[in-house]
Amino acid sequence: MALYRYQAKGGNGEMRSGTLAADSAMMAAAILRNQGQRVVNLSPVEAGNVKSFRATLKSLNYSSGPSQRDVLDFTTQMAVMIRAGISIRAALEGIADQVQNPKWREILKSVRQDVEGGRQFSEAIARYPKLFSPLYVNMVRASEMSGSFAKMLDRIAAYMTQQLETRKMVIGAMIYPGIIGTMAVGVTIFLLTFVLPRFAMVFKGKEQYLPKPTVFLMAVSAFMVNYWYVLLILAILLGTGFFVFTRTRLGRTTLDRVKLRVPLFKRMFRALYINRSLHTMGELLSAGVPMLDSLAITGDISGNSVYRHLWRSVYASVKQGKKLVQPLQKSTLLPRSVVQMIAAGEESGKLSDVLQEIASYYSKVLRDAIKTVTSMIEPIMIIVMGSIVGFIAMAIILPIFKMSSLVK
């Protein structure tokens, strides 16, 4: 059981405060309501002053701003407290008091002040677009009009959870080849700068007897040892140039197109963008957000400039009074079967349900694609590393055998 500090108003209007032990905030609010009290504020009480190791690490991370995980935790807590009968203002105050990150605490206090000043909750969080996406704001705005605020927060939390898990899976799939590639480069540099120069002393004066692979590697090794700073400057310039290029419109478009064409990764990225786009659009339509607003938000959240252009063309088509599927039928970014299902959903009036089902299917496709990528990367990288190390070993051993035969 957890301990909760509460403020409640009795039937005679008298304010009361105290602490209450309950399994959850919802249970604590229910106990107070059964006692004839109206909950004004309800917040958990930390047991003692000793923090867990994880909480201590979080408290040390004051310099960084709030993350999407913080927003997800906030959304989940808000849903529980609103469902328990706590007002938005009191819920914001209670959550802000528990937050360890000072920047996040200040944002929540600012949102609470805006709500106290008469603004809608959706208007207050819209001031922080880096934390609360257009999808989040529009779904909250729709719930404020329909009166299903707590239920909508649950849906937003479920959506954010799935998107964070998907992102984690994709990043995990990309980290593995990055680590293997870094090891391959490191081993190659070690062999060329530390191992091969030792053999160069043995081969000195006998260059005319050395095979071409050995001569080539010795030249590369000598250049790396004597002019390593040139290679370092070149690597920094190339890295900086690539970073700056990918920040331009042309660079982003080029990189996004490459992602959709690389043989090993294209199935994973296509499944990711289709899942993200259709899941977002399905959630927005289910929440009652207008079609045009849903299409605009879907394009911005898709995560790929190529798919963003597709959804913007759909937006322009629908704005002219045409059907949703007309521009989709001309594109190759969505499979023909998906376009047909979208057309059926549009005709039947159950488009949001159809989009959610397609997104659920592509979530499974994405998991399978990630498994395929990770299972194929390992043997490919082993073959590449083996080829590099084998070539260097051959270049070292081959002249030794050749010289021994000349001595005989």
What residue spans define the domains of the chain?
A: 1-47, 167-408
Q: Angle 325-365-262 (CA atoms, 0-180°, nearest 5)? A: 85
pLDDT at 405: 63
- Contacts made by residues 370-374, CB under 8 angstroms, sequence distance 24+: 370/169, 370/170, 370/172, 370/173, 370/268, 372/267, 372/268, 373/173, 373/264, 373/265, 373/268, 374/173, 374/176
For the chain, give the number of residues: 408
- Count helices and strands in the chain by DSSP H and E runs: 18, 3
Q: What is the CATH number of domain 1-47?
A: 3.10.20
Write the DSSP string, 84-141: TT--HHHHHHHHHHH---HHHHHHHHHHHHHHHTT--HHHHHTT-TTTS-HHHHHHHH
Q: State the chain's mean pLDDT as an integer.
A: 82
Binned at pLDDT 50, 70 and 90, residue 52 comes out as very low
pLDDT at 274: 92
Q: What is the CATH number of domain 167-408?
A: 1.20.81.30
Q: Cα separation of 183 and 389, whole Å?
A: 12
Residue 62 has pLDDT above 50, yes or no: no
Residue with tokens 């409640």: 8
Q: Of 326, 329, 330, 348, which Cα lies nearest the Cα of 338?
A: 329
pLDDT at 341: 92
Q: Of 92, 85, 99, 2, which Cα lies nearest the Cα of 44?
A: 2
pLDDT digits (tens, 9 = 90+) for 337-353: 999 999 999 888 889 89
pLDDT at 47: 47
Kindly state the percentage of the chain with pLDDT values over 90. Answer: 13
Q: What is the mean pLDDT of residues 129-144?
A: 87
Residue 241 has pLDDT above 90, yes or no: yes
CA dihedral of residues 95, 96, 99, 101 (deg, nearest 10): 150
167-408: same fold as 1-47? no
pLDDT at 34: 67
Q: Report whether 125 contacts 133 (CB < 8 A).
A: no
Binned at pLDDT 50, 70 and 90, residue 23 comes out as low
Instruction: Specify the DSSP element, H or E, that contains 40.
Output: strand 38-44
Residue with tokens 């160069």: 200
